[in-house]
Amino acid sequence: MTDIYLGADRATDAEAAAVDAALRARGVDPVVRPETERLYTSGTARRRERRHFLLPALHALQNEAGWISPGGINYVAEVLDVPPAEAFGVATFYDLFRTESPDHDGDTFHVCVDAACQIAGYDDLAASVRAAGGHVHLGPCLGQCERAPALFVQGSGGRPDYVPADDEPFELPQAGEESLRLLRRIGVADPESLESYLAHGGYEALGRAGEMGAEAVMAAVADSGLSGRGGAAFPTGVKWRAVAAETGRPKHVVANCDESEPGTFKDRIVMEQDPFAVIETMTIAGLATGAANGWIYIRGEYPLATGRLQGAIDAARAAGLLGEDAAGTGHDFDIAIWRGAGAYICGEETALFNSLEGFRGEPRNKPPFPTTHGLFGEPTAINNPETLLNVLDIVTEGPDAYRSRGTERSPGTKLLCLSGKVGRPGLYEVPFGTTLGDLLELAGGVAGNGELQAVLMGGAAGSFVGPDSLGLPLTLEDTRAAGTTLGSGVVMAFDTSDDMTDVVVRIAEFFRNESCGQCVPCRVGAVRQHETLVQMQRRGSLSPARRTLIDEMAEVMVDASICGLGHTAASAVRSALDLGLIASAPSR
Amino acid sequence: MTDTTITETAVTITIDGQPVEVAEGSTIHAACVEAGIDTPTLCWAENLTPVNVCRVCVVELEGSRALVPSCSRPAEEGMVVQTDTPRVRHSRRMVLEFLGSGVDLSQADDLHHWMKAYGADPDRYGDEDHPVERVEEPVKVQDELYIRDYSKCVLCYKCVEACGDDAQHTFAIAVAGRGFDARISTEFDVTLPDSACVYCGNCVGVCPTGALQFKTEYDLREVGEWRPEDQTVTRTVCSYCGVGCNLDLHVQDERIVKVTSPSDHSVTSGHLCIKGRFGWQYVHGE
């Protein structure tokens, strides 16, 4: 009896070599284990041992052959002890993986079609790539909204992935300004040099944290009022304390670097320009929570950030700042990088765990929460890079000084991703409480025709506000009271020449495409919502019955979906209808 | 294992104003059953691990912003649950409506009375000029044992669970693709004989919509001769080996048309092997 049934297809030598290399790079000997051994290390133990290498192995196949072939799947299945049907199910979950033989040999040019790139004219970019003979794939937000329209080139035949715009010199609009906290090293320190990071205050916070001890670090984080910057705004101190309280099982710190919310690029810039800071704060999180295992799950479309983070990890490890007794703190901590493969949903924390573990990126039902049942079902502190970066100041200057910026209920500063029709799109850092109007002024005011039509706050999962909201203070409490959200920090401006119906229909299509398909309200609701809006667009009007239907669909998505994707899939659509940005009455 | 001498701790929750006591670790759904409150379920089955994906069993839980799936949420002391509020009724109605708008529920008999009870109207989406997207796929008939008609599939994951961790540990099928395009599939959609499938038929046994069907049933339906009202069910013990699996023989016109096993049977939990499930031809001298 064999435990895994494989069909007749066999991998090519090149495919097998690519998988072997990817596994060896992660310390896995890519030998097929004898059946006797496979049988006595069966079930959960076996799955635990190797399953999480599935995603790196699939990346290797895709990169080598330009697709994931039946023979390739069989090879991976045999080496990693994963049933081929499940490996196929995982491969077909991701946009960056193809399971049909490509009709071209070259690289794939991914062109973003989401809002910022939509109004910047992605079709011209796509046409020019096609004219040059490139194979274009139109897809969701690539996290480069400040330089829209965006392009990401997925390598084939072993060629690396790259982003052409990364060749341009990086400029931070506020570079060198004294008010910067989270961004203060960007454009100042060399992101590829540990020496440079150390010369600009790097690793002072970890040293301080080592002196303070875990409990004092967590107390400082709790007292600072820091909350998660990914959109949910959960108190970081509460999360860390819950993980620290768990004993007897391995624990994990995960950096959620799967930034995929349309309009969001803050973590990309932080990771590209200040990678050591991400590594250092993860180490502090490990020290505070008692976790020894650090994981970076980064979206696949961020090759520069991935390379810089890996460089930072290697340099830190060589300097004794990671690994056994990291930085002399007496605490063991190390970090591994896992790349996503094109799935918005994997930014949802439990979907991220499943994806990293080698399963389909489908969210888990909560409770139980990640603090007790996270990665591999073990206690996990998961934070995004922006949230983590705040910890440096909190530890070095103390919570009181940290709270001197921002407002009472939203302490600190916030990274905001300015895109669309603004004079100087880019990443900005302002104290919480800055008004929307002041922020737009800071970014060079309304561009295009100069007449603001609307601002998308918080991305596709956020909502639109109108020009009458320029006085809105950007805090968690004020945006919530105004019925909108800061979300992941998206501030995308539209002028009166922009066709908001096009924008909103595309947002609905985004959710239709990105729903994982697990739960009925979101799987079907996102499709029906998009269909209803397409119908509206073609007719030029939305009947009262259809408007009611949109609300009824929204209600079940909010009430009964498993995760935040379904909960927010109707948010921007409804706000656009409420503001009259898109056809809202038959007369229109 | 319910037959235990270890004392179970009980928890008390309130459902629709009525206190209900259940053993710790029981789900809200189990408490609803205890209280005699009928709850629609689709992806839940007593012999499978809850996956809570269909969301038709959702209830309102005091203190929870969203509704919660009763099939998987453990009952905790002091919980206050409502099962018949406007929000609950709305979500259940919409879930049923969404399903009906996208797949063929004509053989999902268990859902019909719920659709009526909640007033689900799957036809109100789209119009003549704008037809809605539906799952429409040709029926896969690849052998003489069972067929797969994914235009009837609601993606409840039951077959995947039964093929995998919950019963057979064969892992011949998984969910592939994403969103509305997600389908139950073998690797690269190879035929069942080319896959790991061992034809235990446990996927057929748990399918709630007729997407997976005995070939005998499918053939009879095709010619309009499937008549459940004329069928008898006879319980017997499988004659092939010594395990002692209970079989329910479904007989129409003095011929066995399908075989199931009671899901509460201590030996099978409703699951069988290829011999018990499909090996009845000798009875008819074939």
Q: Are residues A331 and A464 in the same domain?
A: no
**A520 chain-B contacts, CB cut-off 8 A:** 53-56, 95, 98-99, 154-155
pLDDT at A1 over 60: no
Three-state DSSP string of A556-582: HHHHHCCCHHHHHCCHHHHHHHHCCCC
List the end-to-end C-alpha distance of chain A, in Å, as a whole number. Answer: 68
pLDDT of residue A583: 72
* Average pLDDT of chain A to the nearest whole number: 95
Label residue A46 by pLDDT band (50, 70, 90): low
Angle between the N-to-C axes of helices A275-289 and A214-224, in degrees from 0 to 180, rounded to the nearest 10: 110
Residue A187 CA, distance from chain mean position: 23
Instruction: Specify the pairing of strand A426-431 against strand B212-214.
Output: unpaired
pLDDT at A2: 47
For residue range A19-29, what is the model confidence (pLDDT) as tens digits? 999 999 999 98
- CA-closest candidate to residue A317, choices A326, A308, A309: A326
**Angle formed by the axes of helices A70-80 and A13-24, to 10°?**
40
User: Which residue numbers in chain B have pLDDT < 50?
Assistant: 1
Same domain membership, residue A469 and residue A541? no
Residue A256: strand pairing partners: A297
Q: Which of B53, B125, B188 sits opposite A528 (nearest CB)?
A: B125
Nearest to B52 among A93, A365, A527 (CB): A365
**Is A427 in contact with A183 (CB distance < 8 Å)?**
yes
Task: Give pLDDT, residue A229.
Answer: 96
**Pairwise CA distance, residues A378 & A136, whole Å:** 41
pLDDT, tens digit, 9 for 90 and up, residues A464-517: 999 999 999 999 999 999 999 999 999 999 999 999 999 999 999 999 999 999
- Examine the domain organization and report whether A235 and A365 are in the same domain: yes
Q: Is the pLDDT of residue A438 over 80?
A: yes
Is the pTM value of this prediction over 0.90?
A: yes
Quote the CA–CA distance of A305 and A311 in Å, as a whole number: 10
3-state DSSP assignment of residue A350: helix
**Per-residue pLDDT at B46:** 92
The residue length of chain A stands at: 588
- Token readout for B131 is 């037809």
Strands A135-139 and A108-112: parallel
Q: Which CATH number characterizes residue A39's domain?
A: 1.10.10
Report the CATH number at residue A318.
3.40.50.11540
Q: How far is B16 from chain A (nearest CA, A)?
A: 19
The answer to whether residue A61 sits within a structural domain is yes
Q: Which residue has the tokens 């706050």?
A: A457
Domain boundary among A66, A91, A116: A91
Amino acid at B108: A
Q: Are A281 and A320 within one domain?
A: yes
Percent of all residues in chain A with a pLDDT value above 70, rounded to a whole number: 96
Q: Are both A267 and A335 inside the same structural domain?
A: yes
Over residues A342-396, the pLDDT tens digits come to 999 999 999 999 999 999 999 999 999 999 999 999 999 999 999 999 999 999 9
pLDDT tens digits, A236-274: 999 999 999 999 999 999 999 999 999 999 999 999 999
Q: Which residue bears the tokens 């929204």? A: A554
B contacts of A47 (beta carbons < 8 Å): none
Distances (CA, A) of A192 to A199, A275, A298, A308: 13, 8, 18, 7
Q: Is residue A346 part of a domain?
A: yes
Contact A497, A448 (CB under 8 A): yes
pLDDT above 50 (res A588): no
If you search the block for the tokens 């909960």, which residue do you land on?
Answer: A567
Tokens representing residue A152 in the block: 């990401």
Find, among B132, B96, B52, the residue nearest to A518 by Cα. B52
Which of B95, B129, B178 lies closest to A520 in CB terms? B95
CA distance B226 to B107: 12
pLDDT of residue B6: 62
Name the helix (H) or strand (E) containing A409. Answer: none
Do A285 and A434 sit in the same domain of this protein?
no
Which of A4, A516, A520 faces B55 most closely, judged by CB atoms? A520
Q: Which residues of A touch B124 (CB under 8 A)?
A: 549
Kindly give, in sequence order, each residue whose CB lies less than 8 Å from that of residue B45, ignoring residues fewer than 6 positions away: B158, B206, B263, B270
Domains in chain B with CATH codes: 140-284 (3.30.70.20)
| Cβ A150 vs Cβ A55: under 8 Å | no
**DSSP codes, A452-471:** EEEEEESSTTSEEE-GGGTT
Note whether residue A406 is domain-resident: no
Decide if A556 and B90 are in contact by the 8 Å CB cutoff. yes
Give the SS3 label for residue B204: helix
Same domain, yes or no, for A563 and A438? no
Number of residues that this document lists for chain B: 286
Q: How many Cα atoms occupy the beta-carbon half-sphere of B97 within 13 Å?
A: 22
Q: Work out how many domains chain A is built from and give that number.
A: 5
In terms of C-beta density within 10 A (0-12 exposed, 13-18 middle, 19 or more buried), how is residue B253 classed?
A: exposed
pLDDT at A35 over 80: no
The residue out of A63, A91, A119 marking a domain boundary is A91
Say what the pLDDT of residue A30 is: 86
**Nearest-10 crossing angle of helices A385-403, A214-224:** 80
- Distance, in Å, from the CA atom of B148 to the CA atom of B217, rounded to the nearest integer, reads 12
Q: Is residue A177 part of a domain?
A: no
- Is A73 inside any structural domain? yes
User: H-helix or E-strand containing A236?
Assistant: helix A236-244
Radius of gyration of chain A (CA): 24
**Bridge-based pairing state of the strands B232-237 and B212-214:** unpaired
- A 532-551 residues with CB < 8 A to B: 532, 534-535, 538, 549
Burial status of residue A439 (CB atoms within 10 A of its CB: 0-12, 13-18, 19 or more): buried
A56: tokens are: 């790196």
CATH number at residue A459: 3.10.20.600
Last residue of a domain, one of A398, A423, A439: A398
Q: How is residue A25 written in tokens?
A: 């790079």
A232 and B CB contact within 8 Å? no
CATH of the domain at A124: 3.40.30.10
A374 in any annotated domain: yes
**Average confidence (pLDDT) over A455-463:** 97
Residue A360 to chain B, least CA–CA distance (Å): 9
Chain A residue at shortest CA distance from B90:
A556
Same domain, A256 and A334: yes
Residues of chain B neighbouring A4 (CB-CB closer than 8 A)? 171, 196
Q: Which domain holds residue A259?
A: 194-398
Quote the tokens at residue A124.
Answer: 């011209």
* Mean pLDDT along residues A315-343: 97
B252: distance to nearest CA of chain A, Å? 36
A187 strand-pairing partners? none
Assigned domain for A175 exists: no
Residue B1 is predicted with a pLDDT of 43
When pLDDT is cut at 50, 70 and 90, the band that residue A42 belongs to is low
- Distance (Å, whole) CA A181 – CA B130: 52
Q: Is the CB of A535 less than 8 angstroms away from the CB of B98?
A: no
**Residue B220 neighbours by CB distance under 10 Å:** 18
Q: Does A246 share its domain with A330?
A: yes
User: Are A23 and A132 in the same domain?
Assistant: no
**Chain B CA closest to residue A553:** B94
For residue A120, the distance in angstroms to the closest alpha carbon of chain B comes to: 28
Label residue A31 by pLDDT band (50, 70, 90). confident
Q: Which residues of B touch A93 (CB under 8 A)?
A: 176-178
CB spacing of B177 vs A552 below 8 angstroms: no
Residue with tokens 């392009």: A151
- Closest residue on chain A to B91 (Cα): A556
Q: Tell me the average pLDDT across A215-244.
A: 97
* Nearest Cα to Cα of residue A344 among A486, A526, A505: A526
- What is residue A104's predicted lDDT score, i.e. its pLDDT? 85
Beta bridge partners of A427: A417
- The verdict on A348 and A217 lying in the same domain is yes
- Nearest by CB: B178 against A88, A516, A528: A516
Check whether residue A367 and residue A283 sit in a common domain. yes
In this structure, is residue A136 part of a structural domain?
A: yes
The predicted pLDDT at position A135 comes to: 96
In 10 A of CB A526, how many CB atoms? 28
Mean pLDDT for the stretch of residues A128-134: 96
* Burial environment of residue A473 by CB neighbours within 10 A (0 to 12, 13 to 18, 19 or more): middle
